[in-house]
Amino acid sequence: MNPTATTPGGHLAPRLLDTIASLPSSFRWGVATSSYQIEGAVAEDGRTPSIWDTFSRVPGAVAGGDHGDVACDHYHRMPQDVALIKDLGVDTYRFSVAWPRVQPGGRGPVNPAGLAFYDRLVDELLAAGIDPWVTLYHWDLPQELEDAGGWPARDTAYRFADYSMLVFDALSDRVDTWTTLNEPWCSAMLGYAYGAHAPGRRDFGAAVSAVHHLLLGHGLATQRMRAAATRPIQLGITLNMSTATPATDSQPDREAVRRSDGLGTRIYLDPLRHGRYPADVVADLAEQGVSLPVQDGDLDIISAPIDVLGVNFYFGQVLSGTDEDGNTRDAQGAPVVREVPLDVPRTAMGWPIMPEGFTELLVRLSRDYPGLPMVITENGAAFDDTADDNGFVCDDDRTNYLAQHLAAVAVAHRQGADIRGYFAWSLLDNFEWAYGYDKRFGIVRVDYETQARTPKQSALWLRDTIKRVRAGG
């Protein structure tokens, strides 16, 4: 690693570092990635297109016309990347499995050549002393399944459970932790309501059906994996969540927060943990002429016991229920939920940096959904990096972001939230979905011309911080 970075994070307030150092020495530390964002090799060893291969070809869908054809070329550089992970001193690597690699077309038998990649990855990780943490679905739905209706179609949930079992049967002798979905809110809403992510549809009713079928797929897969397990395993799901604060104490502003929290958090966690959808959200949907396509028995499946909740947090929000002119309904008659611009620093994504919202979220989750250990499966930030001649990035902004958010986790932990680990998003700069390669979240820089990897200042800081916490502060 770069010798110029002798005191990574030296500028950080000592109080922040002491707070982080109060995390338990047994805390789990990791880095996270996802298949389409790093692998490349989209047509190799029998892989078929996913909705992201298709969507990224739609003119204007992805910044710069970028796509994942090569990405970080991780498919060909996997052993080198595992060595990099080991150098960071983390104990866990969270990666996702590409469904169209393992089961091309989304149905039928396993593709041994595609599965072999993950088999090798798991062995490589274990040999390096790193725990593999599998995400079964991080948004790369086989295109054929989208053509058959995608997540708004009930059958996709059953296809997902079948696919999950192909992977589980092959790797559960060595992989202890299995999470089904990454951020179903993004799959459903960004993909089917807002058209911002693959498959690019704009149909709110379809998006709400997708919510239910994603949860059903999670429950079906969870039940089957649990039944098939021959040794202790941990099962879970990862959700993206935020903390919304009302701009004022007015009724419309509090109402905006209720709605946003309902569709963002409670519509997932209530059925997962309490076996029912929140009544206020169901009523809001009915008012918009939309319903969740629940069939008898679905909620029992969805609320199948899980062992861990993956929490992805990036930013907090302050919301208002009125537009700039004071109206509570928009031109279509829908209730206004407006993000109020705040005077806080923002990342290159334009996301407001609000670490105190992270503490608030974690404490609230442990109160409203008790008895479920949490692991932070993603947290990190994009900034406009500048590399020196050696490819080194002195990313004080990202280091500071990580430190502030880790301290926020430590504070929540002290307040009693059952948080077991923290994974930085992301190991590498990568394909940031609709933003393409322009937005860099890596703690390791990737030079896309040469595919050279160079740990940034933030990576060195994280490595030192992990050592300190493990040593007991």
Among residues 423, 425, 437, 461, the one that binds ligand FCB under rule CB under 6 A: 425
Q: If we measure between CA atoms, which residue out of 116, 230, 225 comes closest to residue 160? A: 225
378 binds ligand FCB (CB under 6 A): yes
Q: Minimum CB separation from ligand FCB for residue 408, in Å?
A: 18
Q: Minimum CB separation from ligand FCB for residue 83, in Å?
A: 23
DSSP state of 387: B
Please identify which of the residues 124, 146, 255, 378 carries the catalytic annotation: 378
CA atoms of 352 and 250, how far apart (whole Å): 23
Nearer to ligand FCB, 204 or 441 (CB): 441
Question: Which residue type does 215 have?
Answer: L
35 binds ligand FCB (CB under 6 A): no
Nearer to ligand FCB, 312 or 320 (CB): 312
177 binds ligand FCB (CB under 6 A): no
Is the preceding omega at residue 79 within 30 degrees of 0, hence cis?
no
First to last CA, the chain: 23
Nearer to ligand FCB, 197 or 213 (CB): 197
Among residues 39, 66, 73, 432, the one that binds ligand FCB under rule CB under 6 A: 432
Please identify which of the residues 146, 183, 255, 432 carries the catalytic annotation: 183
Q: Is there a catalytic annotation at residue 287?
A: no
Nearer to ligand FCB, 185 or 277 (CB): 185
Helices (H), 9-69: 14-21, 35-38, 51-55
Q: Minimum CB separation from ligand FCB for residue 291, in Å?
A: 27
Q: Is the dihedral of CA 105, 107, 108, 110 positive or negative?
A: positive
317 binds ligand FCB (CB under 6 A): no
Q: Which helix (H) or strand (E) holds 420?
A: strand 419-425
Nearer to ligand FCB, 137 or 160 (CB): 137
DSSP state of 276: S
Kindly report the backbone phi and psi dihedral angles of residue 352, in degrees, each rounded to the nearest multiple of 5, phi listed first: -65, 135
Contact, 158 vs 213, CB < 8 A? no
Among residues 2, 34, 50, 172, the one that binds ligand FCB under rule CB under 6 A: 34
441 binds ligand FCB (CB under 6 A): yes
Nearer to ligand FCB, 105 or 436 (CB): 436
Give the number of other Cβ atoms within 10 Å of residue 307's Cβ. Answer: 15
Q: Which of residues 216-275 bind ligand FCB (CB under 6 A)?
A: 240
Question: Which residue type does 251 have?
Answer: Q
**Residue 445: beta bridge partners?**
454
Contact, 319 vs 253, CB < 8 A? yes
Q: Minimum CB separation from ligand FCB for residue 182, in Å?
A: 5
433 binds ligand FCB (CB under 6 A): yes
- Alpha carbon 459 to chain centroid distance? 19
Q: Minimum CB separation from ligand FCB for residue 59, in Å?
A: 22
Concatenated DSSP letters for 290-355?
------TTHHHHHT---SEEEEE----EEEESS-TTS-SB-TTSPBP-EEPP-SS-B-TT--B--H
Q: Which stretch binds ligand FCB (CB under 6 A): 42-50, 118-126, 179-187, 289-297?
A: 179-187
209 binds ligand FCB (CB under 6 A): no
125 binds ligand FCB (CB under 6 A): no
At residue 113, the 3 state secondary structure works out as helix
Q: Which helix (H) or strand (E) holds 88?
A: helix 74-88
Q: Which stretch binds ligand FCB (CB under 6 A): 76-84, 181-189, 299-307, 412-420?
A: 181-189
Among residues 186, 301, 353, 407, the one that binds ligand FCB under rule CB under 6 A: 186
Q: If we measure between CA atoms, which residue out of 394, 380, 472 comes closest to residue 432? A: 380
140 binds ligand FCB (CB under 6 A): no
Contact, 67 vs 56, CB < 8 A? yes
Nearer to ligand FCB, 34 or 400 (CB): 34
* C-alpha distance from residue 37 to each of 33, 56, 66, 95, 133 (Å): 7, 12, 11, 10, 17
Nearer to ligand FCB, 17 or 31 (CB): 31
Number of residues that bind ligand FCB (CB under 6 A): 12
Q: Minimum CB separation from ligand FCB for residue 404, in Å?
A: 17
Nearer to ligand FCB, 1 or 349 (CB): 349
313 binds ligand FCB (CB under 6 A): no
Q: Is there a catalytic annotation at residue 432?
A: no
Among residues 39, 140, 183, 270, the one that binds ligand FCB under rule CB under 6 A: 183
Angle at 146 between CA 143 and CA 147, to 5 degrees: 90
Positions marked active-site: 183, 378
Q: Write out the residues near ligand FCB by the rule CB under 6 A.
A: 34, 37, 182-183, 186, 240, 312, 378, 425, 432-433, 441
